[in-house]
A and B are shown apart, each in its own frame.
Chain A
Amino acid sequence: MLGMLTFAVGGVLSGVMIAWSMDFKTARELIQGGLGGLTVGVLMALLLPM
C-alpha cells in the first residue's frame, strides 16, 4: 500500500511538471496533467512487485 501511495503522489507531481513544461498552464490543464500522472503512477504500482 505504501508503494502504491508513493507512486500515486510521485505520479501527480510528475504529471503536473510535464503539463507545465508543455505550456499547459491553466488550472484545469494542470489538474488534467496531475490526473494523467496519477493514472500512470497507480497503473505502474499495480504492475510492480510490492
Chain B
Amino acid sequence: MILGYVTLTIFLAAMVLTLLRKINLPVQTVLVLVTLVCLAIGAIVKGFTEGAAAILTLPNEMMGGIILHPVTALLAGLFLAGALNASGGFEAFKVLIAKLQKSPLGLAGTFVVLINFPMITSLPCGRIMAAALLPLLFAFGSEGGMNLLTKSQLIVLIGAFARNAFGSCGPSPIGGVGQIGEGFLGSHFPTAADGILRAPQAFSLMIGTALTALFLKMISRRLYPDSCSLRDKREGEVDAIVVPQAPLAGYASLVIFVAALIVAIFQPFGKVPVQTVLVIAAIAIILIGRAGIEALMAGIILLPVSAMVAGFMAAGALAATNGFDALGQVLGLLAKVPVLGVAGMLAIFVQIQTMIPLSCSRILTAALVPVLFLFGPAAYGFLTWEQLAVVMAAYIINATTSCGPSPLGGGGMMGEGQMRVESGYIKGAYTFTVMAAMTPLAAVYMKFLNLVNFAAPGEALTANIGALGGFVVLIVAINLLAIRLMARLAAPGDKPYFTQVGGFLATGMFAGMVLALSTFGLHVIPALQGAFGGLLAALWIAFMVPKKLEPEPAPF
C-alpha cells in the first residue's frame, strides 16, 4: 500500500505543479512522464516483493485502464464536425442565425439561442463550435464590422457562449465526458448508457450559462476595468450589416448532421454503435460537399483525444500500482473526520476538477470517476446506487466545465482571446457559477426527476417536481443575491478582493449543503458536514481567482 501512496503523491504533485506553472510542459507530456515514473517505481517494488512475473503484468494492467469507446466516439465526432465545416455547414448555420434575428425572437432572443447553441448540438469537444462561431460573435462588435453591440455586450456574449461551449462536451451523446460516468453507472442502471447524466448536465449548464453572463456583467468588468482592449460601439455610425452566404452543399450537410445526431441519440434503427452513425454521416457529407482531405483533417482537434488517452494511461498506472486504493483510503479517512464525514468529503470531491482545472476535463475524469465508483456499493459502501448517481451528476458537470477556467491551454482562453482580455479574466465567473450553481443544480435534477427515468428493474421511484422547483429557485436566488452583494464590493485592489472571497465561501457552503441534502435527505449532521466540505473547496477556488491580470506567455 505504501507504493500506492508514493505513486498517488507523484500524480497529485505533478498536476498541482503543472497548474501552478512550476512545470512548464504540456499536461499530456507530464501525464505520460508520471505514467512512466509510476510504472518504474511499481516495477522495482513489485520485483522485490512479488518477483519478476509481477513486473511483466504491470504494462498490461496499465493498458487495461484505457477505455476505447469514448476515444473512438470522440474521434468520430471530430471527423463529422470537420466534414461539416469543410462542406460549408457552419456557413449555412450563420445564414440561419441571420434569418432568426428577423423572427419574433428579435436580436435578444437570437443571442440567447446563439449562446446556448453549443449545448443544443452537444459536440464531443466545445472547441469545435467555439472555433467555428467565436469569429462570428466578434463580428457583432465594432472591430468586427457589424457595430451592433457595445464592448460590455460583446464581453458578455462571448464569455457566456464560451461558458456554454466548454461545458457542452459533458452531455454530448457522441463521445461526451459524461459517458465515462454513464459507463460505471451502467453496472446498476441498465439504461444508463442511453444518457443518464445528460439531462442533469444540460439543465445546470443552461442556468449556469445565464449566471455566468450576470457575473461577467456585474463583477468581472469592475474587477478588471482596464483589461479589455475591445473598441466600444461607434455611436451615430451606420451599422454595416454583413449578410452571410452559404453553398447549397452546406445546407445539405447541416441536414445530414442533424439527422445523424437524431439517429445517434434516439436510435430509431435499433442499437447501432454511435461511431458507425457518425462515420456514415461524415462520408455522406464529404461526398455531397466534395470536401478535401486537408480541410477534413483540420477539423480533428488532437488535444482532447491525447488528453483523454494520457489521462487513461495515468489512471491505468495508478491502478496498477495501487494508487486508487491509496486515494480511496485517504478519502475514507477524511470521511471519518467528524466535521467532514462522508457528506463533507463528497462536497470536496465533486469540486476537485474546478480546484485543479486542466486543459481537458477528460484527464482527471478518466482517473477519478473510478474512485467515485468505489464509494458506491461496489467497494466502500458509502453510497447506495441512487446516491452514487446523484453525486456522479454533480461531479460530472463540475468536471466537464473545468477546461473553461484552466490556464493550461484551457478552452476558455479561446474566448478570452476573442474578447481581447488578459488571461484569467473569465476565471472568477466560470469557477463561481460552476461551484455555487451548476454542481448543486445537477444533483437536485438527478435526485428529484431524472432517476425516475432510469430506475433499475424492480425499483419504483417517483419524481418530486415541487422539491426540484424549490431547490432550483433557492439555488438561483442565493446566487443572484451573492452576485449582487459581490458586485457592490467588487473593485480593483486587495481589500475588495478579500471581501468578495466571502461571497465564494457562503455560496460554496450552500452548494455543499444542497449536495448533502439531495444525497442523504433531510438530516442535519450530513447537511452541516456538506456545508463544511463546501466551505473548504470554496476557499481553494476563491483564492485561485486572480487579483489582477497581467500579460503572461502561454506555457506551451
Bound-complex Cα distance A26 to B335 (A)? 51
Does residue B150 face the partner (Cβ distance < 8 Å to A)? yes
Distance of A49 Cα from B122 Cα, bound (Å): 14
12 A-B pairs in the complex with CB atoms less than 8 angstroms apart: A3-B199, A7-B202, A13-B210, A18-B112, A22-B111, A33-B111, A35-B109, A40-B112, A40-B119, A40-B120, A48-B171, A48-B195
Q: Does B115 count as interface, using CB distance less than 8 angstroms?
A: yes
A32 to B476, CA, bound (A): 21
Residue of A3, A11, A14, A15 contacting most chain B CB atoms (<10 Å): A14
Q: What chain B residues lie within 8 Å of A28 (beta carbons)?
A: 106
- Contact call A22/B113, Cβ cutoff below 8 A: no
Q: How far is the CA of A4 from the CA of B294 in the complex (A)?
A: 41
User: At the interface, yes or no: B281 with Cβ under 8 Å from chain A?
Assistant: no
Instruction: Give chain A's interface residues, CB within 8 Å of chain B.
Output: 2-3, 5-7, 10-11, 13-15, 17-24, 28-30, 32-37, 39-41, 43-44, 47-50
By the criterion CB–CB under 8 Å, are B199 and A24 in contact? no
Cβ of B108 under 8 Å from chain A: yes
Does A21 contact B160, Cβ atoms closer than 8 Å?
yes
A3-B199, A35-B109, A40-B113 known; A21 vs B465 contact (CB < 8 Å): no
Q: Residues of B at under 8 Å CB distance from A?
A: 104-113, 115-116, 119-120, 122, 149-150, 152-153, 156-157, 160, 171, 191, 194-195, 198-199, 202-203, 206-207, 209-211, 213-214, 216-218, 261-262, 265, 445, 449-450, 453, 463, 465, 468-469, 472, 476
The answer to whether A48 touches B202, judged by C-beta atoms less than 8 angstroms apart, is yes
A20 to chain B, nearest CB (A): 8
Contacts of A3 on B, CB cut-off 8 Å? Answer: 199, 449-450, 453
With contacts A3-B199, A21-B156, A48-B199 known, is A36 near B206, CB below 8 A? no
User: Nearest B residue to A43 by beta-carbon distance?
Assistant: B120
| Cβ contact within 8 Å between B199 and A18 | no
Q: Find B206's partner among A5, A14, A19, A30 (CB 8 Å cutoff).
A: A14
Kindly count the residue-residue contacts between A and B in the assembled complex, taking CB atoms under 8 Å apart. Answer: 140
Q: Whole-angstrom distance between the alpha carbons of A33 and B106 in the complex? A: 8
Known interface pairs A29-B107, A49-B191; 14 further A-B residue pairs with C-beta atoms within 8 A, sorted by A's residue number: A5-B465, A7-B202, A7-B206, A18-B115, A19-B108, A20-B214, A21-B210, A21-B216, A21-B217, A22-B108, A28-B106, A35-B109, A37-B109, A39-B109
Given contacts A18-B115, A39-B113, A43-B120, contact A13 B476 (CB under 8 A): yes
- The distance in angstroms between the C-alpha atoms of A43 and B218, with both chains bound, is 29
Asked whether A7 and B194 contact (CB < 8 A) given A14-B210, A18-B115, A40-B112, the answer is: no
Contact B213 A36 (CB under 8 A): no
CA A10 – CA B207 in complex, angstroms? 7
Separation of A10 and B198 alpha carbons in the complex (Å) = 16
Contact B206 A10 (CB under 8 A): yes
Evaluate whether A37 and B112 lie within 8 angstroms (CB atoms) in the complex, with A10-B206, A18-B209 already known: yes
A30 lies within 8 A of B108 (CB): yes
Nearest-neighbor residue (CB-CB) of A29 within chain B: B108
Known: A15-B109, A22-B157, A37-B112. A6 touches B211 (CB 8 A): no
